[in-house]
Amino acid sequence: MSTEQAYRDYVAGNLDRLRRTAYLLCGDWHLADDLTSTVLVKLLRHWKRAAAMEHRDAYVRRMLMSAWLDERRRPWRRESSTDQLPDRTAAAADADRRLDVLSLLAGLPPRRRAVLVLRYFCDLSVEETAQALGCSEGTVKSQAARALESLRAGLEEGDPLWI
Amino acid sequence: MDLTQAMLAATANPPPTGIDVDQLITGERRRTRRLHAVTGVAVAAALAAGMVALPQLLPQKPSGQSPGLAPPSTVAAATRSPAACVTPSPTVKVLPGANVPAEPPLVPVTESCGAAIARLSAELTVLLPRLIPGVTFTNARDGSPLPARFEKVGGQQIGYTAGFNLPGGVMSVRTEAAGDIPAQFRAFAEKECGVPEAKCRPATIGGSELLIRNDVAGGYGIDVWAVRPDGTTLMALTRARDPGRPTPVTEQQLIDLVMTPELTMYP
Q: What is the DSSP string of B9-52?
A: HHTSSPPPP---HHHHHHHHHHHHHHHHHHHHHHHHHHHHHHHH
* pLDDT of B183 over the 50 cut: yes
Let me know: does A15 contact A51? Beta carbons within 8 Å.
Answer: no
What is the spatial distance between Cα B125 and Cα A43, in angstroms, rounded to a whole number? 56
Structure-model confidence comparison of residues A77 and B220, the more confident one? B220
pLDDT tens digits for range B41-62: 899 888 888 887 777 666 554 4
Geometric angle at alpha carbon A134, from A132 and A135, rounded to 5°? 115
Q: Averaged over B241-256, what is the pLDDT? A: 82
CA of B191 vs chain A CAs: smallest distance (Å): 21
How many residue pairs bridge chain A and chain B with CB atoms within 8 Å of each other? 74
Percent helix, strand, coil in chain B (nearest 5)? 35, 20, 45
What is the spatial distance between Cα B211 and Cα B200, in angstroms, rounded to a whole number? 7
What is the spatial distance between Cα B191 and Cα A101, in angstroms, rounded to a whole number? 53
Candidate from A33, A101, A160 with C-beta closest to B18? A33
* pLDDT of B76 over the 60 cut: no
Structure confidence at residue A160 (pLDDT)? 58
What is the spatial distance between Cα B167 and Cα A127, in angstroms, rounded to a whole number? 71
pLDDT tens digits for range B197-218: 667 888 888 888 898 887 655 5
CA of B21 vs chain A CAs: smallest distance (Å): 7
Candidate from B2, B19, B28 with C-beta closest to A36? B19
Structure confidence at residue A20 (pLDDT)? 93
What is the spatial distance between Cα A109 and Cα B193, in angstroms, rounded to a whole number? 50
Structure confidence at residue B151 (pLDDT)? 86
* pLDDT of B92 over the 50 cut: no
Q: Which residues on chain B are in Cβ contact (under 8 Å) with A15? A: 17, 19
Length of chain B: 267
Let me know: does B230 contact B264? Beta carbons within 8 Å.
Answer: yes
pLDDT tens digits for range B93-107: 444 444 444 556 777
Q: Is the ipTM reported for this complex over the cut 0.95?
A: no
Q: Averaged over B27-32, what is the pLDDT? A: 89
Structure-model confidence comparison of residues B215 and B68, the more confident one? B215
- What DSSP assignment string belongs to B146-160? SSP--EE-SSS--EE
What is the spatial distance between Cα B251 and Cα B223, in angstroms, rounded to a whole number? 8
Which of B18, B54, B236 minimizes the C-alpha distance to B148?
B236
What is the spatial distance between Cα B149 and Cα B68, in angstroms, rounded to a whole number? 14
Let me know: does A11 contact A3? Beta carbons within 8 Å.
Answer: no
- What DSSP assignment string belongs to A106-130? HTS-HHHHHHHIIIIIS---HHHHH
**pLDDT class for B72, splitting at 50, 70, 90?**
very low
Cα-trace Rg, chain B: 24
Sequence-separated (6 or more) residues with CB below 8 Å from residue B63: none
Q: Which residues on chain A are in Cβ contact (under 8 Å) with B26? A: none
Q: Which of B34-43, B62-71, B208-217 has the lowest mean pLDDT?
A: B62-71
For B156, the 3-state DSSP assignment is coil
Q: Which of A111-115, A152-156, B79-83, B143-147 has the lowest mean pLDDT?
A: B79-83
Is cis: bond before A109, omega within 30 of 0? no
Candidate from B6, B17, B27 with C-beta closest to A101? B6
Q: Does A11 touch chain B (CB under 8 A)?
A: yes
Q: Which residues on chain B are in Cβ contact (under 8 Å) with A114? A: none
Let me know: does B122 contact B147? Beta carbons within 8 Å.
Answer: yes
Per-residue pLDDT of chain A (163 residues; tens, 9 = 90+): 678 889 999 999 999 999 999 999 988 899 899 999 999 999 999 998 888 888 888 999 999 999 988 888 776 665 556 666 656 555 444 555 555 788 888 888 889 999 999 998 988 999 999 988 889 999 999 999 998 888 888 776 556 555 4
Q: Is the Cβ pair B14, A163 closer than 8 Å?
A: no
Q: How many CB atoms lie within 10 A of CB B252?
A: 11
Structure confidence at residue A72 (pLDDT)? 81
**pLDDT class for B63, splitting at 50, 70, 90?**
very low
Candidate from B6, B18, B28 with C-beta closest to A97? B6
Q: Is the Cβ pair A19, B17 closer than 8 Å?
A: yes
Structure confidence at residue A146 (pLDDT)? 92
Q: Is the Cβ pair A33, B12 closer than 8 Å?
A: no
Sequence-separated (6 or more) residues with CB below 8 Å from residue B4: A120, A121, A123
Which of A88, A49, A73, A95 minimizes the C-alpha distance to B13?
A95
- Mutation site for B-interface testing, chosen from A44, A104, A108, A116 by largest number of B Cβ within 10 Å: A44
Q: Is the Cβ pair A98, B3 closer than 8 Å?
A: no
Most confident region among A35-44, A51-60, B117-126, B167-176 by mean pLDDT: A35-44
Q: Does A92 touch chain B (CB under 8 A)?
A: no
Q: Is the Cβ pair B10, A102 closer than 8 Å?
A: yes
Enclosing H/E stretch for B212: strand B208-214
Q: What is the mean pLDDT of chain B?
A: 78
Q: Is the Cβ pair B17, A15 closer than 8 Å?
A: yes
